[in-house]
Amino acid sequence: MSRSNGDAVAGVDAGFAPDPDGARWRYLGPLNFANAAPVLAATTEVALPGEGEVDLDNMRAIDSSAVAVLVALKRRAEEERKPLRFIHAPAALLALADVYGVGPILHS
């Protein structure tokens, strides 16, 4: 999956990057209002990770849009009847998810 240019002003490329075998995805860069729509749109071009795991360890500069993107991915997984879990979520992301009442989605 191509990573979208999420922050053109700062020249930061961000997005979900699948492993070569498609078993896992990892997120690289910021995920916020500035890039959430193109990042989410890019995910529709590929199958969900085969092992159902999305590593968020390299996610930076998040806001509530990051929570919305992850909730949308979780809904897609449920619709496709596939497992999806998020690992290594940043503490700030977990706190935002708790504020919005969707914390259990991220606490895997």
pLDDT (tens digit per residue) in 90-108: 999 999 999 999 999 887 6
Kindly state the average pLDDT of the residues 59-82: 96
The answer for residues whose C-beta is within 8 angstroms of residue 5's C-beta and 6 or more apart is 13, 14, 35, 38
The SS3 call for residue 75 is helix
In three-state secondary structure terms, 74 is helix
Question: What pLDDT was estimated at residue 107?
Answer: 75
pLDDT given for residue 1 in this prediction: 52
Domain CATH for 77 = 3.30.750.24
Domain span at 17: 4-106
Domain count, the chain: 1
Is 67's pLDDT higher than 50? yes
Per-residue model confidence as pLDDT tens digits over 38-48? 999 999 989 99
Give the chain's mean pLDDT. Answer: 88
In angstroms and rounded to an integer, the radius of gyration of the C-alpha atoms of the chain is 13
Share of the chain above pLDDT 70, in %: 88
At residue 21, the pLDDT reads: 92
**Of the candidates 41, 8, 7, 3, the residue with the CA atom closest to the CA atom of residue 25:** 3
